[in-house]
Structure 1
Amino acid sequence: MKVNHVTILEYKYLFDSHIKNRHAEILILVNDLDFDIAFPIIARLNHVVRERSLKNYLDEITFWFGSKSPLVDIYAQLIAQGYDEKEHSSLRILNIWSNLTLLQSFLEVYKNSTGSKNQNININNTHDRLLKAYLLINEEYVANFNSQKVIASIPNGVGLIMKNGLIMATMLLPYHDLNHIDAADAMIAQFIKAVYFLQFAESNLPKALTDFLASYGVSTWQDYMKAIFPIVGHALQNNKEGLGYLTINSENPHAETSRKFLSTISIESQNGDFSQHDFILPRSKPLMQINMDKYLVIDNLLIYNKMYNSLFFEFKKVLIDNPDILGKVDFKGYLNGHFSESFLASKVLDAVFENSKYLKFSGEEIRKVHAPTFKAEPDYYARNGTDLFMFELKDTLINGTTKQSFNVELIKSELKSKLWFKSINKKGEIKEEPKAIRQLQNNIRRAAVNKLPFDSDLEYKFLKVYPVLLYIDQSLSTPGINEILQQWFAEELGHDKELGKVQDRFDIMPLTMIDLDTLIIFQDDFKNGKLKLEELIPRFWGYKQGLIAIGLNNINQAIFDSNISFGAFLRLNRKTRNTPKLFTSFGRLLFDKNNQKSD
């Protein structure tokens, strides 16, 4: 990761005009455009930004208008005049935040459209109006991504590592989960999680699963996956210059199920609800329907995410229609406790430690034997001699408004309440409900005083303890967040008297945040011993500290570089990976006629 000194081009410097109500002007510019031209433009913008294929602003202008358009020279002159004092190599137009904001603005107009086209708008005019709208959005981008304003909002006395963590998290959180994820990795991980969820539902929510499948005209979850996966995978393989189309074979026996799935994630003019928070509409509608069996892919990554994420919303609807299934139990809370933190975490971590000599227990295994006398157990526990791992998994989401706020205190407060502790008023008394950081600390303390009933052979042992916070929401991979949480974790350890007593035999590593998708993608390397967490985690923190040491002449740059997430670090060091065997085995499970039942 490197600090890139880029100047984002803005409307006001090209046209010497200050628009007071930018949002209203953007909507005017995109109103009545030819949707058949505009949506493919947006699809291609997302593609080139993710691929980073355009090297300078002249490439971007040429890409936008086409090399033969006279508007290329016109805009090149406007930029040269408006930015005559700037180094031209640093000038850029395109970025993922403005891409999605343009799409969001376009959808805001499109949902109220009658579908008629303005015949007076030609292709060049459409491109010109969209670029003007984009440059206005860039003004908002520059105003929001103001590092000096963010730095000024951080209170005095905050340590340098925490300060840089807060700056990076605040600046990058709005779009990091949409811009730094490998599309192939996302497809594989979302597919595997979707299959795990459907297997879980088959055993634990059979009535809800039956109703869900009935809405798609199928009787088994295998048939549902057969209908959706090939067309989703097609989006990755068939994408020419950013224009990808999903086509349904009408003769396929699963064609109608495929249509129903794609219709739920496709843009339609009658979309009613609209929210500007966190690109909700683009996230939920990453396709545009061309005809009954053809769809334009607006964004590959968002399609892959829907393979798993859409299941929550569809099952939630089924449960609302059938309140007797869970009664008054909150569905999100039920899923967190029974699926994410138990079933899913166990599946993934069992694979990571499968061929090791680790003594290991899932949270569910601990509860079955030791509840209710032993409570607040770790979500997963593993020990091999002196190496001890404590895992907490949090299937928590950062609120969309918070993500897009660019507000240090708001982001810090939400991270604190969801991952450190939450203050709750109980009968007039303020109680602190422990979250992941304190839960890890509490269970490490239990190990220090030999109070873990499932592993009671810890007294007098010299242990290297690895506290790990697993998470699902890729927003938490944003650089800076691990540093913030580690500072809080270190603060807790510093005040813990019991752990202070055993510091001569307990070597507690820094808190490491790991996204579950990374473990899913690299599970085969963990199984065959090519990767070991007990080796990777010290290297991860050594890499961070090494970058700081190397960058003593420019400490801010060094700390910026060192804020890499664990998943990014692993991919940096292991540049190639094989497709997980679990992915191919699930494929055989789906498409082998002899395997029609889940494991």
Structure 2
Amino acid sequence: MFKLAINYEACFPREERGTLENYLSGIAKSELLKMSSFFLGFNPNNSRYSDIRDFFDMFFSAENAEFSDNVFNNVLQYIAATPQPYQMYEVPYVVSSLNLFEFIFDKIPEHQITTKSNAEVERDIFRAYVLLNQKTITERDRISQQIRDDNDITLSMAQALLQISFHNNDLINYRIEKVFYCQFVRALFYFEFLSFRENCNELLEAFYAFYEVVDYKDYLRRLLGISHAVLMKDREAHTEIHLENIENRAFIDKHIASSDSLLTELDFINSRGNPLYKYEDDKYRIISPLFTIEMIYNGLFFRLKNINADLQGAAKVSGFYNLKTYEYSEQYVLSKLLKEIYGNRYIQKSGAELDAVLPGAPDYYMRNGKYIHIFESKDILITKESKQSFDYRDLENELSIKLYENEKGSAKAVRQLAETVRKILSGEATYDTGIPTNRSHIFPILVLHYRLFNAAGMNSVINEWFKNEMAALQESGLDTSRVHDLILIDIETLLFNREAFANRIISLQDVLLEYEKNYLRFDITKARPRPKNQREVSDLFQKSLTPFSFYLDNKVEKLGYRRNGDDLLQKAAVLFDEEE
């Protein structure tokens, strides 16, 4: 459930705000780092500290009981004046937790000692935290609204929800076991892909030498040693790693935040790359459990890229970025997954096969009788500036450049899918001569390779662009009545649910139709039970903007399909061969 973080004005309505520097003064840096990493150890979903009273009881000691009660009563009065119920609010907010850690790491002097009492420390750290909630949520919303008012901008519900959710979606909406499973398997796929290519041999050897590992199996094995601490933790708190094998020191030291450099960067770029810090010799703490898991694959390309940049002559892999985004992501991984999902049924053609027949063909094509699935795959990212912008126009403009039409007027994913539809309906899709053009049902699917795009409202916004393209085709004389809505699917959701598809627990065809009907084409007049008031109407519309990934994961689990990780264990087994 989407929650709202309690801010400073809710806790201290009659108290003038101080500064972070003031609140965090008089407290030893080591103590502050431990406390802020403690906040980052909270579960993103179903935390035991989601209830405000439970958080207060955990955080404040007996000597601050009166202070805690007064603040709690202030919060209750604040909530009573809002339309949202008590259950919608909580104190912890991961963005504030990350900002707090980075501020302490970068700004608090190493020599700072504790001069405040324990009670003062609790009160001031709490003030600092809710002040950050004020800045990262309340102030952000205020500035965004001011920009819209000043420029007379009216957003649809989908656009408004996209602006609210996109900047922090990847930080709050995730399941750590799914992230781990997909990060591990994707890293394994990527290493396998690079190992098949002769021009990548010297790059891989340089990579292994830098990390002092034998091969990619050894590298992933050691990363599993780090991520294991996150996966197996049994309480919500900071996670520590105490080295018993000193040989791992050099490896883990290449993944820690350096005290000689700054962490603070827009969208936590530096913390994502180095999600641990050393607090004593051979003792480390996890800054972010999520970032620690995501560095397995998400961080892999950038680590390889940095090493490739230092290679000389023929050893350097040319076009390394395109190798990853095109040949690996759009061809190798997409084809590998879809062949597993569809099995040996139907007419299927990979992007490589299609390109050899017709330039500009889709990245994957499947036809089952009159039902056609066409895929475009885009391994893209959004700049940190656009992602974190207060102005919705910045985000939508970059999404348009990456997914609709770039600055030079070249067609991107949405227009490419529309052009594929045009060719199919016009009889120009020469790669499949058996298409029943007059009765074909065409399902356009856009596959994206980062889960940050699983933001509420995004599918609806992108689908509106596609529907405009279909309206233009209809005006040109083509019958688009059997062309379905465009659906966004992230590669990790395909990967996570591939066994359910391959074992025919569900079919891709069925879930595409169901999601289109119940979400993209949601009709409030058909809602059962009927909404009783405007709030229920609004809630139903917001639910209809749920990303496909959330819908599919929940559906598979409701069908009773147990994901026991067998596939992951089979893939991981190669790391533990007795003979390397």
Aligned match for 1:9, one of 7, 10, 30: 7
In the TM superposition, residue 323 of structure 1 has moved relative to its aligned partner by 4.4
Q: Which runs of 5+ in 2 are unaligned?
A: none
Aligned-partner Cα distance in 2 for 1:518–1:349? 12
Aligned-partner Cα distance in 2 for 1:557–1:149? 25
Match of 2:182?
Answer: 189
In the TM superposition, residue 55 of structure 1 has moved relative to its aligned partner by 4.4
Match of 2:570?
Answer: 585
Aligned match for 1:444, one of 421, 424, 431: 421
Q: Is the 8 A contact 1:524 1:581 kept in 2?
A: no
After TM superposition, the structure 1 = structure 2 runs for residues 361-510 of structure 1, keeping only pairs within 5 Å, are 361-367=349-355, 369-370=356-357, 374-424=358-408, 432-497=409-474, 500-503=477-480, 507-510=482-485
Match of 1:514?
Answer: 489
Aligned-partner Cα distance in 1 for 2:240–2:444? 44
Structure 1 position 269 matched with structure 2 position 264:
no
Q: 1:262 to 1:499 in 2, by over 3 A?
A: farther
Aligned-partner Cα distance in 2 for 1:422–1:443? 18
Q: Which moved more, 1:325-334 or 1:338-347?
A: 325-334
Match of 1:46?
Answer: 40
Structure 1 position 563 matched with structure 2 position 559:
no
Aligned match for 1:528, one of 481, 490, 503: 503
Match of 2:165?
Answer: 172
Matched AA of 1:466: F
Q: Is the 8 A contact 2:363 2:377 kept in 1?
A: yes
Q: 1:316 to 1:81 in 2, by over 3 A?
A: closer
TM-score by length of 2: 0.89
Structure 1 position 59 matched with structure 2 position 54:
yes
Q: Is the 8 A contact 2:26 2:114 kept in 1?
A: no
Aligned-partner Cα distance in 2 for 1:241–1:85? 28
Q: 1:323 to 1:239 in 2, by over 3 A?
A: farther
Match of 1:427?
Answer: none
Matched AA of 1:363: G
Give 3-state SS (helix, strand or coil) of 2:42's partner. helix
In the TM superposition, residue 292 of structure 1 has moved relative to its aligned partner by 4.2
In the TM superposition, residue 249 of structure 1 has moved relative to its aligned partner by 3.4
Q: 1:280 to 1:130 in 2, by over 3 A?
A: farther
Match of 2:322?
Answer: 333
Aligned-partner Cα distance in 2 for 1:42–1:525? 39
Q: 1:579 to 1:523 in 2, by over 3 A?
A: farther
Aligned-partner Cα distance in 1 for 2:231–2:360? 42
In the TM superposition, residue 577 of structure 1 has moved relative to its aligned partner by 3.4
Aligned-partner Cα distance in 2 for 1:325–1:27? 51
Structure 1 position 74 matched with structure 2 position 74:
no
Q: 1:322 to 1:487 in 2, by over 3 A?
A: same
Q: Is the 8 A contact 2:370 2:435 kept in 1?
A: no
Q: Is the 8 A contact 2:158 2:458 kept in 1?
A: yes
1:427-475 superposed Cα distances (whole Å, 9 cap, x missing partner): xxxxx11111011111121222232232222254521111111112221
Match of 1:429?
Answer: none
Q: Is the 8 A contact 1:208 1:325 kept in 2?
A: no
Aligned-partner Cα distance in 1 for 2:477–2:565? 42
In the TM superposition, residue 499 of structure 1 has moved relative to its aligned partner by 7.4
The Cα RMSD (Å) is 2.7
1:511-547 superposed Cα distances (whole Å, 9 cap, x missing partner): 1001111111111111111121100011112222457
Q: 1:259 to 1:388 in 2, by over 3 A?
A: farther
Matched AA of 1:542: K
Q: Is the 8 A contact 2:203 2:316 kept in 1?
A: no
Q: Is the 8 A contact 2:5 2:93 kept in 1?
A: no
Matched AA of 1:203: F
Aligned-partner Cα distance in 2 for 1:303–1:406? 28
Aligned-partner Cα distance in 2 for 1:232–1:92? 28
Number of matched residues?
560
Q: Which moved more, 1:172-181 or 1:330-339?
A: 330-339
Aligned-partner Cα distance in 2 for 1:508–1:450? 15
Match of 1:357?
Answer: 345
Give 3-state SS (helix, strand or coil) of 2:375's partner. strand
Give 3-state SS (helix, strand or coil) of 1:442's partner. helix
After TM superposition, the structure 1 = structure 2 runs for residues 139-158 of structure 1, keeping only pairs within 5 Å, are 139-140=134-135, 141-146=137-142, 149=146, 152=149
Match of 1:215?
Answer: 210
Aligned match for 2:336, one of 338, 344, 347: 347
Q: 1:301 to 1:547 in 2, by over 3 A?
A: farther
Match of 1:311?
Answer: 300
Q: Which runs of 5+ in 1 are unaligned?
A: 425-431
Q: Is the 8 A contact 1:165 1:563 kept in 2?
A: yes
Q: Is the 8 A contact 2:202 2:315 kept in 1?
A: no
Match of 2:80?
Answer: 87
Q: 1:55 to 1:202 in 2, by over 3 A?
A: closer
Give 3-state SS (helix, strand or coil) of 1:145's partner. helix
1:285-327 superposed Cα distances (whole Å, 9 cap, x missing partner): 3222234433222322111100112211111111111143486
Aligned-partner Cα distance in 1 for 2:483–2:171? 33
